[in-house]
Amino acid sequence: MKSDHKRLKVGITGLGDVSSFHIQAIEMHEEADLMAVCDTDPATQLKVEGVSFYTNYLEMLEKEDLDVIHNCLPHHLHYSVTKACVEKGIHVLLEKPVSISYEEGLLQKELEDRLDAKICVCFQNRYNQTFLELLRWLDKEETGTITGIKGLVTWFREPVYYESKPWRRKKI
């Protein structure tokens, strides 16, 4: 961690749909303070009050003394923004997916291995009922020793989900 203070100074890049969950989690955490947010759309500033607002993440990284960034940007921006944060010693909580390619995922791992900042990926499906039932089943004594497991999660999204955000379902 780059500073001595006890409370984490947190920033968010991307104030789209998922950011409200991150804002709420940060506000509820007793050892974290939301200090700055960044989005290219100035209208999203209305989502948060009392914090610095930026439309350029590089400017935010330069001006703010942050410990961690919640990277909630569209998938194709995950690597470049995560790289900039980690190179400045800022930890990253990254929304899924990790990257848009296997190669970018490897580059992120190399960044974390080489530098002091950590990259964590948010996989909220671990709280789905299906997954929780699988854990209960695996805990049963009669299940025995597991030597391998494979899972597949599928769900249907209405076309409007993809139409509402042009970056969804695309590798830009």
pLDDT tens, residue by residue, 118-132: 998 887 777 788 888
For tokens 């990277």, what's the residue?
A: 71
pLDDT digits (tens, 9 = 90+) for 76-111: 889 999 999 999 999 999 988 888 889 998 998 999
For residue 164, being part of any structural domain is answered with no
Domain assignment present for residue 166? The answer is no
82 within 8 A of 92, measured Cβ to Cβ: yes
CB 64 within 8 A of CB 35: yes
Identify the pLDDT of residue 100: 84
- For residue 134, being part of any structural domain is answered with no
CB of 66 closer than 8 Å to CB of 90? yes
Q: Tell me, yes or no, whether 17 lies in a domain.
A: yes
Task: Please give the residue range of the domain that contains residue 112.
Answer: 8-125
Q: Read off the pTM.
A: 0.76
Q: For residue 153, tell me if it sits in a domain.
A: no
CA distance 56 to 132: 39
Q: Is 152 inside a domain boundary?
A: no
CATH number at residue 23: 3.40.50.720
The whole-number pLDDT of residue 5 equals 52
| Residue 78 is assigned to a structural domain of this protein | yes
pLDDT at 17: 84
> Is 144 within a domain?
no
Digits of tens for pLDDT over the chain (172 positions)?
454 557 999 999 999 888 888 999 999 999 999 999 999 998 888 888 899 999 999 999 999 999 999 999 988 889 999 999 999 999 999 988 888 889 998 998 999 899 989 998 887 777 788 888 888 888 888 888 878 877 776 777 788 887 887 777 666 6
The Cα–Cα gap between 119 and 139 comes to 29
Domains in the chain, number: 1
Closest among 8, 5, 50 to 29, alpha carbons compared: 8
| 3-state DSSP assignment of residue 23 | helix
Contact indicator for 86, 119 with CB cutoff of 8 Å? yes
Length of the chain: 172
